Structures are given as structure tokens and as C-alpha cells.
């Protein structure tokens, strides 16, 4: 991953955008502190979202707390 300062990023934005469009991730710093990342559009978010949904579904299937199911916990909460 390439790291550039904010001034350099502003000065060479077209070049950085071209590199990002080819799949490279560029970290932008301000006074040496990372503040942003320039990433290729539409690649990372879609994969991560699908993975998150699969993980949530897997957790919901077997979720229990001391023998109580998720449905039991919801119903118990509605009583109060």
C-alpha cells in the first residue's frame, strides 16, 4: 500500500485516481497521521457485505444463552 501526504495527494490526484482504478490502495496522511484511504470503487464493500450477512445468519441459527433461544429472549423482553 502506497502512503502519500495530503499535499502530494492534492497535487497528484489524477495519478492516484488512475492507480486506484487499477486496484491499488493509497493511504493519505496529514502530518504523518493516516486520515484516509483511496480504494478501488465497488470491490471491497460488496465482498465484505456478503461475508457479513453470511456470518450474521450463521450466528442467528444457533444463538442461545443458557439454553434460551433468541425468540425466548425477545418474548421475555416484551413482558416488561
pTM for the whole thing? Answer: 0.52
Percentage of residues of the chain with pLDDT beyond 90: 42
Is pLDDT of 11 > 70?
yes
Of the pLDDT bands very low, low, confident and very high (cuts 50, 70, 90), residue 80 is low
Domain spans of the chain, in order of start:
2-38, 44-78
Residue 38 CA to residue 26 CA, distance in Å, equals 5
pLDDT digits (tens, 9 = 90+) for 29-59: 999 999 999 998 875 555 678 888 888 888 7
Q: Read out DSSP for 1-51?
A: -EEEEHHHHHHTHHHHHHHHHTT--EEEEETTEEEEEE--TTTHHHHHHHH
Specify the CATH number of the domain 2-38: 3.40.1620
Amino acid at each position: 500500500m502506497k502512503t502519500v501526504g495530503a499535499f502530494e495527494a492534492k497535487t497528484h490526484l489524477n495519478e492516484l485516481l488512475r492507480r486506484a482504478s487499477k486496484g491499488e490502495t493509497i493511504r493519505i496522511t496529514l502530518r504523518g497521521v493516516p486520515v484516509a484511504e483511496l480504494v478501488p470503487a465497488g470491490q471491497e464493500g460488496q465482498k465484505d457485505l456478503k461475508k457479513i450477512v453470511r456470518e450474521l445468519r450463521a450466528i442467528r441459527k444457533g444463538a442461545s444463552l443458557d439454553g434460551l433461544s433468541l425468540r425466548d429472549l425477545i418474548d421475555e423482553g416484551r413482558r416488561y
